[in-house]
Amino acid sequence: MANLHFHYGVMGAAKTANLLITAFSLNQTGKHVEIIKPQCDNRFSDNEIVSRIGLRMPALSLQNLDDYMPKPETQFILIDEIQFFSTQDIDKLVEIINYSKVIIMGYGLMTDSNEHLFHASQRLVEVGAKLHLIESNCQIDGCMNLATHNARFDKNGRIITNGPQIAVGSEQYISVCRMHFEKFKSGVILNQIEK
């Protein structure tokens, strides 16, 4: 059985909900679980993981994994928003699994709204994490295509395809299929999109 897993999908694909359901199931069967999240993810809580469907659990909020070591009894480490950690943090996780029987499951985004891999996500692929795609549909009304892109829009509904990899604020994010992403890149405005 693989001991390093990366569960990835676009925004809104229920990655956090999947993590919380997995943690609940493991806890129900007596497994020792640690839940971690990056400190920069404080949208809903500083010390909890919260899904959009209302599930929540306490989590260890860390800026980095430099000094992190799991407790001796820990069997599973579940990490939310893993893409916000560094490549060095991923290497620390590899070191942990190399010298213990812990199973690590990271949940997060593979790519940003600029179509670039997050550094931590790229490193997970490079070190051989078992990949699990969490599928969801395009969020454009009436489209049933697989969502493949995290599209970021300005206040006027125009797509933003450059700039910082992590951006929060007035921008709006929508998960879309490749076809709609290309339409937005060609100049179509969000509220003028045809189904």
How far apart CA 120 and CA 126 sit, in angstroms, is 10
Pairing of strands 149-153, 159-160: antiparallel
How far apart CA 115 and CA 162 sit, in angstroms, is 9
Q: Look at residues 156, 165, 91, 153 and name the one whose alpha carbon lies nearest to residue 128.
A: 91
Catalytic residue among 34, 73, 81, 95: 81
How far apart CA 179 and CA 149 sit, in angstroms, is 10
135 as an active site residue: the answer is no
How far apart CA 37 and CA 64 sit, in angstroms, is 10
DSSP string, 95-136: HHHHTS--EEEEEE-SB-TTS-B-HHHHHHHHTTPEEEE---
User: In the chain, how many H helices and how many E strands?
Assistant: 4, 11
Place of tokens 């599209």: 151
- Catalytic positions are 81
